[in-house]
Amino acid sequence: MKWMEIPIYSRLRKMEPSLATLFLIVVGAVAIIGFFAAVSSPVGDLLGQGSWRLPSTFHGIAATIFVLGLTIALYLAWRMFTGEIRAFRDLKYLAVLTSVLSAFTIAFGNWIYIAYRAPGGPREEILASLPAIHRVFFEFKEYMALFTFPLIVAATFALWSYDKEILKNRHLRAGVAVAIGLAWVYMMIAYVLGAAITKLAPV
């Protein structure tokens, strides 16, 4: 059979995720998480009991979808950089989507920081017990997350302004790919540190 003659690596290189892939991943993840949450705990326990439970929930959902979308965008950006991309239109729309998600995630994150920095909040708790950790988990994360927005917006602007002309310019391809790559790095650092903060001292 012809497909058996194609190396697995070559077949994988030809595969490209798309907006449909992202949609299926998000729906599947939400369905699995929702199922286990429904059978294991009441909704009140899942969201939390504090007055900040809703912004915290929206922040977590937006951040998780942002992680999924930007990861797929990163892979497509790499394929664009190597000149092998076929789903260029999907990359453009993913760039717009992740720009919006970045804005939502940062907005809700800054909202939650009001509670974290309030007197008697998690910030004081960590400062009292782990001052060195505070400089990384709070100060570093707080500003690191903000870099994702201008980077992904710049990449989105370039993708839509130059459209397919960008595929003919190696320097433009590299610039967009690097911007998306840096946005992904900053996003993952903020995501992991945010999860750690929630574990150490939730709102």
Number of DSSP helices (H) and strands (E) in the chain, helices first: 10, 0
- Average pLDDT rounded to a whole number, residues 136-149: 78
Neighbours of 192 (CB within 10 A): 11
Query: Is 37 contained in some domain?
Result: no
Q: Do the beta carbons of residue 69 and residue 102 sit within 8 Å?
A: no
* Residue 105 CA neighbour count, 13 Å, CB half: 29
Query: Is 91 contained in some domain?
Result: yes
The answer to whether residue 65 scores a pLDDT higher than 70 is yes
Query: Is 18 contained in some domain?
Result: no
Query: Is 171 contained in some domain?
Result: yes
- Nearest Cα to Cα of residue 112 among 59, 166, 167, 179: 59
The answer to whether residue 95 scores a pLDDT higher than 90 is yes
Reduced to 3 states, what is the DSSP secondary structure of residue 119? coil
Q: How many domains does the chain have?
A: 1
What's the pLDDT score for residue 46? Answer: 45
Query: Is 179 contained in some domain?
Result: yes
**Whole domain around residue 111: which residue ranges?**
55-200
- Nearest Cα to Cα of residue 197 among 70, 112, 101: 112
pLDDT per residue as tens digits for the range 1-12: 444 444 554 554
What's the pLDDT score for residue 195? Answer: 75
Higher pLDDT, 171 or 111: 171
Query: Is 141 contained in some domain?
Result: yes
Which residues touch 12 (CB under 8 Å, ≥6 apart)?
none
Query: Is 148 contained in some domain?
Result: yes
- Average pLDDT rounded to a whole number, residues 57-72: 85
Q: Do the beta carbons of residue 141 and residue 59 sit within 8 Å?
A: no
Query: Is 50 contained in some domain?
Result: no
Q: Which two tokens stand for residue 92?
A: 């453009």
User: What's the whole-model pTM score?
Assistant: 0.73
pLDDT per residue as tens digits for the range 27-47: 666 666 655 554 554 444 444
Integer angstrom CA distances of residue 89 from 6, 93, 178: 27, 6, 19
| Cα(179)–Cα(194) distance, integer angstroms | 22
| Cα(117)–Cα(109) distance, integer angstroms | 12
Please give the distance of CA 37 from its chain centroid, rounded to a whole number. Answer: 22
